[in-house]
Structure 1
């Protein structure tokens, strides 16, 4: 029997869980009519189809390799994905696994659907974005909010004559406005954003996010108009379209880009003014004076080996340079809301991390265990797939035999009309099995006999390359790819305990990078495989 996986998704706030239920109900009805067995249902609630970074679709892709189902059913192709690249990649992986995709709208999906529907989905997203921007601009031109809200204001929801909610109006929140005035006055008087943030946190004042204040929340970026000190709404000037937001295709996260000033839309809203012009000008004058000083990043050394990998074990915030030679918890220094005041020398920290990568992770017994477990897990997945192929071959033989028996029965005098449906069903199943076997090659068992030794050679070479000015940058990037995160927690002796979390994908990429080696599966998918029961290496230094 055909084993079916159903996928359903909704994305906009105008839809709800009822949309998911409707999609699943229609797919269940189709499966029942076809005589298919529904073995799994995957759903994503309130998530855009512009990215594959969705738990439901990721689980479907993972299970497809395990032979849990042999057909994917959805309401329409745009429920699966609206991105051309993503839908093509998903179709390619399902086809490699021998799993066809069927939708209620398009039928069985082929290359033509992928090309045309993928293009239509991309055009739909672009058209939707353009219409949304037109609507937002109209709201801004009327002096209303173009999306989101600023600290110091409350959103006012009015009810129109038709009974619908009419949003976009704002009014001044006097309690928060007093904090805004305090920040501007303190900064104009010479106080630093860090000192202002510490004072506000000591008093228990909540920041714009509902959490503590930080220097960047106050200072922001003057070019981008971010931060309390750069928000022109406080002087009654609403500026829209200063930034463009785009999704990074690799991470799925939104990144902002500064638009040309000619593309900005500025509207006067004097009723929303909180800061008088004289105070605003004083703050801008001080900011301008500070910008004439040498930029901090120009005086710093090149990017640190462990930048952005260090985390505080007490609060989860980042560890950064608190002096020329030491690392410390950024939250403890900038916000005062973390108790982890311990610091560690850069040389000591980098030395302990490099030593761990070379000794503890390269310890023969640990490497052997790592490689054996990885190989065992992937072999299990591949054996399951090969077993599925073997089962299909055995069923194909039975189907062919059943077809011969029906034909022989017709020859012996049984009316063809009585066995017509049986013959059609057997022929359809035969064609389905043959198509699946033609598209699914039996995979060999994956072995990595030299993976541990080659990894040790590579890490030793990278550590040596760090001393070379010519190759330091590239070697640092490769070494950083081996590390998921480094967590520093206060120890009982007043120092810091260091937990090093290895990045499985980076470790395997380095271990299988030797020319001519069997690289096995796409290592970009290793993190997904790890979630099934094989976790990245973690050890305490």
Structure 2
């Protein structure tokens, strides 16, 4: 009699016999009973509670072809742990002339055997359901105590007591992600920054925009523990504060309403930040062509555009953006604010320099990576070398180079900046070229939180600006204010290194400390 063997293994249940063990027992059974084994069907790490098993379904389909007369399994529960599936598929096999045999559970071909098989199937289903219930109950109990389950997310590691602990290196990446996004940086800019600085995801991969979205929406970073229906506040050490988290979620909502921004040929700098003062809805970028063929760009209230129930007039793009930039520079980059920002920046820089947790975390990772490389080299010296071994060794060596680079950057950090130099840089930034679109973008992205535009009758229009600074952060501008304000005459500082205000050398390159300066430059804007 020609037979095939079916073997299955559920990874969550470690008491089951391995695939190799099942095959060995089934082959011995076939030999003793004069079966000729013509094929093997194997499903790895798939529960018997479902019939969605590739090899199992292939076996049922192949039984229609008449190539075998019997199926041999290790035990009855390998076939199914669901009585409905068991009855349906056994009926199909019987209709196709295929018998079922169990290597470790012989079933007599009698009416009593039918009853025995039915009892054993019922017990198998009961065992499976009871096991699942026990596992779920145990996991829920763990969740109620805030015990970590599964793989940790970026910024956390699992301690010896199975509680979440902060990983300094990952936490640095998380804080940077939230801060940059809240400041208006695009996902592409953030991803590029993370990858350029050698940061990795929790799985050790390079960052992409998808992994970034999951991080930005995860409230675990403000201390919330979630599992199934269990939600615990303050059960996880927070990495960021709730104010920053809420700001990021609000930015998400704004960006969603303006998701066509990336597709626009013209760059509308105030997208997600400009709103109709009358109905509160966002104003979005639009364009139109006049009779002369000239293209005009402007901002239009969403309610007027889609629902036609708002009378807010459109605003010319160039005029609105330039006005916002001019008044932002005048209002925010005052001598008083520059003094405050510089003082706060130095305090933050000194605190950051005193914190060696990131450096220690990187050194521990490097030590562990070197240990893995050493173990792999020992295996190679013993003759264990495969394409996979070579690929893994290259991955570890690349990881070591990245870690060494990060450690070098951490060790190089020293207070290159003084309060006076920060103040000088901010003064230089204040004198930037207002005609430069990139300068406008930086002012708006960094300093502007929101702009509300009102039609003010015969008086023209009124703007209400809110800035990303503490203290007096709101400014109301009328048409008369705009008329009285002389246009800013600002010059580009082409000879100045943007981050640190150090003069460039003769060939136009940035100063020799440019890498460190970029770090301190980012720190300055965290102090607004």
TM-score, normalization by structure 2: 0.43
Which one has a bigger Cα radius of gyration? 2
TM-score, normalization by structure 1: 0.42
